[in-house]
Chain A
Amino acid sequence: MTRSFVVSCLLLSLASSLGWSAPDSKLLVALLPKSKGNAYFISCKAGSERAARDLGVELLFEGPVDSNAAKQNEIVENWITLGVDVIAVAAENREGISTALRKARREGIKVVTFDADAMPDARSFFVNQATPQGIGEALMDEAARLCGGEGEFAIICATLTAGNQREWQREIERRRQERHPGMKLVAVRPCDDLKDRAQSEATALMSAHPKLRLIMAICSPAVPGAAEAVKQAGKKGAVRVIGLGLPNENRRYVKEGVTDTVILWKTEDLGYLTVQAAVALAKGELKAGASTFKAGSLGEFRIEGDNILLGKPFLFNRDNIDQFDF
């Protein structure tokens, strides 16, 4: 008890030193990323700050430095003591964070999740940045577009057993059968999330499949790995590279024309939508059962169940990649 009192005093004094004066009328929104130094979440933060400005609310952005699930719990506990109005979390551990979030809800604090969900009963809404269907369709459509609708392609994934990777592959395959039957998947190779291994796998794929037209890398380190292999094999243009990844890791290959398209979502929009939804929830404007949500300057978003959908993934290519830094 004494300890939490001391902690809240410390936090309050810290908050006021940061320019947050009196906890009067302004709504206090607390945003908890998986890791606060990560470029991905830093760009989310930029969007959330914009939303906070638009809405005239106070924003706290705090998180572990190293993707630490226990540390996330600790921060939520501190926020409960501090009495924030609404918490938005990207959960490092789905079950692990949920106990603390349920406690926050019992204390009257509203909770949403973004990027990575907690248990459904621990939050009101999940701001879902990309559905497996959206990702699968974007990847397969882009692959078919680059190959002119027919040709051999191969997938490099993280591991053969990871749940999200399998789900994406199912959606890729479904889209291929429905829309792009001329495309032929010749191999799926795992890279254990290692760029170096992805490079070796891509090299082997190209020598084993001389008619290979495209490599689709569905885990982020595999995209630059495959691109380096294509470049070293002197097959730039002959074998295309696309994949799910971060603009910064792929910038050089996109500019050199080795990698055609990097697919992800606009992280700034994710941060913006999250704060908009959190504030609407706290003000009672966003209620369970709603089917759409209007988020300030970004317009309307669809809600499926308790998932607010960010929408179609974004395609980063040679023309637009320089506008993004994460």
Chain B
Amino acid sequence: MIKPMRKISSSFAVILLALAAMLTGPVAAQSLNVDIVGGVKTATPIVVVPFSQQGGAPLSTDVADVIRNDFNRSGKFRALAKSDIVEQPSRGADIKFATWRLLKQDYITVGRISDAGSGMLRIEYELWDVNKQSSLLAQAYTVPAGDLRGVAHQIADQIYEKITGVRGAFWTRMAYITAVGLGNNTTYSLIVADSDGYNPQVVARSRESLLTPRWSPDGKKIAYVSFESGNSNIYIQDITTGARQLVESHPRGINGAPAWSPDGTKLAVALSYVGNLEIFVLDLATHQETRLTHNLAIDTEAAWAPDGQSIYFTSDRSGRPQIYQMPATGGTPQRITFQGQNNLEANVSYDGKQLAMVQGNGNVYRIAIMDRSLGDQVRFLSPGPLDESPSFAPNASMLLYASTEGRHGVLYAVSADGLVRQRLVLSDGDVREPAWGPYRQR
């Protein structure tokens, strides 16, 4: 079971390198370069016809392009290339289904954009089943012209859900850390961007390391670790107002590894002021710390189960770092990883069925997924050798992770089956520690 996966991963690595060498297009309007690697033959073929535009100045965003890219990196859909879209209907009534049947397409999306006055745009779209020639969706949005990418992601989400039955997660954001400059001149930034890497916004900046950004369940705040005071301290920052709260700053030892409880009222943290690194749960309202672990090993990297009842964490109490699970109120930890020399940094899918982690064997560290509903089978998602920080999309259809290319840190978005990967590269410097944000409120 595992061997073929390995082969797939390594052959994709080769394709990836080849594509990386061919990259010439200046995609870098913003700080992240984005390219999609691989493709899946079994993915559902879909046409997204360029949306027609009635009146107004030319738009900076091609809505259909954004939707197509969302589909392609999901691994679930294969969007017909723009250059192969031979007809350009903008209403269901104008679709000639024979054309798209000939092109072996299952679904077609058409749409139109019109000026709604005072800086607003009206976007209408329809989704049709090509074989049944039936309408599946017809929706309209009126939004500020600057929000076209957001609308495109929301349309992609609705189509994704209509066809797959799973809520789409394209209209979400990610947080990550960048490090630009060398040695003492390095500037670290905590960035929030759209899940496809666009619209990066600086949330925090420091001359000292920032690490472990973690979204609050409501998507309004980010907890992270900053070395700006000299030692590791934990902050919570409101990403819209910028207001910041110092929540853990014991002068002695590490204040690290924050993880929000699913209800957003608590933060699991790793603290060593007691003399050794242990997992604590911090109640954010009362600021009361409850110690969960008691031994001489390193205990860190807590992650909550979605029901809030238990906590996964990394511990080397057995000699090597492995993943353990224990009740969130305290109790006896149970080791749950037994395959691989090292297992670290658990990240849990929304339904609690899958656990992503970093598995290290020798000098190779790869992202692995353990399926708790399938007898804890483990499969690899990335080729290594220095991959870390796995983070599930809120619908678990994709993951983000960090990797290294030469001396640079890069990010990947990968479909949950591991077959399609999208690389996100900072033109200058390192990008690391991606964290996929929760669903946004419509």
A binds B: no
Which B residues contact A (CB, under 8 angstroms)? Answer: none
